[in-house]
Amino acid sequence: MAAAMASAISCAAATPAVAAQLQAKGCATTPARAVCVRVSKAFSGLHSIDLPTASVSASSSNARTDGAVKSSRVENRRNPALDVVASAGEKKNILMLGGTRFIGLFLARLLVKEGHQVTLFTRGKAAVTSQLPGETDEEYAAYSSQVKHIKGDRQDFESLKAAFGDKGFNVVYDINGREGTEAEAILNAIPALDQYIFCSSAGVYLKSDLLPHREIDAGDPKSRHKGKLDTEALLESKGVKWTSIRPVYIYGPLNYNPVEEWFFHRLKAGRPIPIPSSGLQITQLGHVKDLATAFVAVLGNEKAIGQVYNISGSRYVTFDGIARACAKAGGFPEPELIHYNPKDFDFGKKKAFPLRDQHFFTSIEKAQVELGWTPEFGLVEGLTDSYNLDFGKGTFRKAADFSTDDMILEKLGKKTFVAA
């Protein structure tokens, strides 16, 4: 709590300047509320690296060496005046659908720290609370004693009203919804909501020759994320105050999707990294902690009502670049990259590479301009956080499976590996 207190004090002092900054950017502000985002303060206990701003830029691969450039414009639009956490706005009674697996873990903590009442609605498959790597005992105790839980199954539409219809929830964070019918069931159970905040996906965008994807771009009615698109349409049609967040690839400690994990397995094993086609495909990774702060930034934000926001990292990255960034993050030597033509192989049901084989990245400008949010983590810095708190400690979700790697290496006539 001490960390939160310190932040609150700096927030009070900075508020007039912060509000002015945000108003200049066109962000909605009230005297009482300044949108805040500074992950290093929010997650001070969970942040494995406490780098001052200067060394952060130096560590990124895009460090400035051009001395002629005036540095009034800061990479990632950081502004020390925005280095605050607390919003002095109205406290909400929040129902979070999910909250025990990945995104919700971090988001729920932020919301509780901000003074909101948070109730997680899950089937109870994962522990309601567990101490996060890097979280102090005090922080964990504060969180676990305040967060509430209702056990149930959101797929059982009939049970929802009884489960939470009368608990006075005024905000829903729908972190794990997939289909429009699911959101509809929630709305039927809780008719009067101040805001319905939905975790959608950039996977809804129709593939395009013109990039990055922007929120105004067409969705793909044939994508496997169609349900997310349907949910956004459903929310719009219901007249509820809604906001949708579209992340790209999320990474960070406790990621259950094998994004960085896939690369770290190979780096730890000293194996070459097989990358489909040219390795020039460009994608975008966003740290889960930055995603959490974005979710907080839209809460109670009038400007965010009825809006969709792409949320991810400030820079994009090539497939080859992810491999190199993971190597840097884990302190591994520069990896050997093997490129192969995926059309020459039949991998059956197995995935030889964890990312979609195409350009896939979005502009986060809208969120930066309208919400005053900006990602804290650069790619190498963020992957280092993930490695130090999770994958580098020997923990992982999916065990290493190098069978497709070996198929590729063999076909290309490269030396195959035998585990040491």
Partner 1 sequence: MATIQAAACSNVGQFSCSSAATPRSSASGVVSWLCPSAKFSTELRLSSVSSFSQATSALQNSWLVKQSRREVVLPGKVAAARAAAGGEKNVLIVNTNSGGHAVIGFYFAKDLRAAGYGVTILTLGEEASDKMKKPPFSRFSELKELGVQTVWGSNTDIGAAVGSAKFEIVLDNNGKDMDAVKPVADWAKSSGAEQFLFISSAGIYKTTDEPPSVEGDAVKSAGHAEVEKYISELGFSSWASFRPQYMTGSGNNKDCEEWFFDRIVRGRPILVPQPGLQLSNVAHVSDLSSMLTLAVQKPEAANGQIFNAVSDRAVTLAGFARICAKAAGKEVEIITYDPKAAGVDAKKAFPFRTVHFYAEPRAAKELLGWTSKTNLPEDLKERYAEYIKIGRDKKDIKFELDDKILAAVKQPVTV
| Amino acid at site 357 | D
Q: What is the DSSP letter of 29?
A: -
Residue 369: its H or E element: helix 365-371
Displacement of CA 47 from its chain's centroid (Å) = 15
Distance CA 1, CA 14 (A): 20
Which residues have a Cβ under 8 Å from the Cβ of 256 and sit 6 or more positions away? Answer: 101, 102, 397
Query: Is the distance from CB of 275 to CB of 353 less than 8 angstroms?
Result: yes
Report d(CA 364, CA 387) in Å as an integer. 25
| Residues forming a β-bridge with 171 | 94, 195
Q: For partner 1, give the closer residue by CB, 69 or 418.
A: 69
Residues whose CB is less than 8 angstroms from the CB of residue 343 and which lie 6 or more positions away in sequence, other chains included: none
Least distance CB 167 / partner 1 (angstroms): 42
Task: Give the residue with the Cβ less far from partner 1, 69 or 420.
Answer: 69
Comparison of 178 and 339: residue with beta carbon closer to partner 1: 339
Q: Whole-number minimum distance, CB 29 to partner 1, in Å?
A: 19
Instruction: Closer to partner 1 by CB, 287 or 324: give it.
Output: 324
For residue 192, CA distances in Å to 90, 239, 411 come to 17, 11, 60
Four-point Cα dihedral 322, 36, 105, 350, nearest 10: -20
- The vertex-125 CA angle with 119 and 127, nearest 5°, equals 60
Question: Which residue, 137 or 209, has its beta carbon nearer to partner 1?
Answer: 209
Min CB(377)–partner 1 separation in Å: 12
Output the smallest distance, CB 305 to partner 1, in A. Answer: 19
Nearer to partner 1, 55 or 61 (CB): 61
Smallest distance, partner 1 to C-beta of residue 328, A = 10
| Contact (Cβ atoms closer than 8 angstroms) between residue 384 and residue 329 | yes
Q: What are the tokens at 279?
A: 């390795």
Shortest CB 372 distance to partner 1, Å: 13
In the bound state with partner 1, the residue whose beta carbon lies nearer, of 8 and 337, is 337
Q: List Cβ neighbours of 250 (8 Å cut-off, separation of 6 or more).
A: 102, 103, 257, 259, 285, 286, 287, 288, 291
Long-range contacts of 140-147 (CB under 8 A, 24+ apart): 142/1, 142/112, 143/108, 143/109, 143/112, 143/113, 146/112, 146/117, 146/118, 147/99, 147/108, 147/112, 147/118, 147/119, 147/120
The CA-based angle 282-286-289, given to 5 degrees, is 170
Name residue 372's amino acid. Answer: G
Q: Between 117 and 281, whose beta carbon lies closer to partner 1?
A: 281
Q: Which is nearer to partner 1, 152 or 354 (CB)?
A: 354
Nearer Cβ to partner 1 (300/330)? 330
Output the smallest distance, CB 134 to partner 1, in A. Answer: 25
Tokens of 55: 């060394």
Task: Give me the least distance between CB of 14 and partner 1, in Å please.
Answer: 21
Residue closer to partner 1 by CB (options 71, 237) is 71
Q: How far is the CB of 324 from partner 1 (least distance, A)?
A: 6
Name the site residues for partner 1 (rule: CB under 8 A). 60-73, 75, 77, 208-212, 277-278, 280-282, 315-318, 320-321, 324-325, 358-359, 363, 365, 379
Least Cβ distance, residue 35 to partner 1 (angstroms): 18
Rounded to a whole number of angstroms, the minimum distance from the CB of residue 97 to partner 1 is 34
Task: Give the C-alpha separation, 63 to 65, whole Å.
Answer: 6
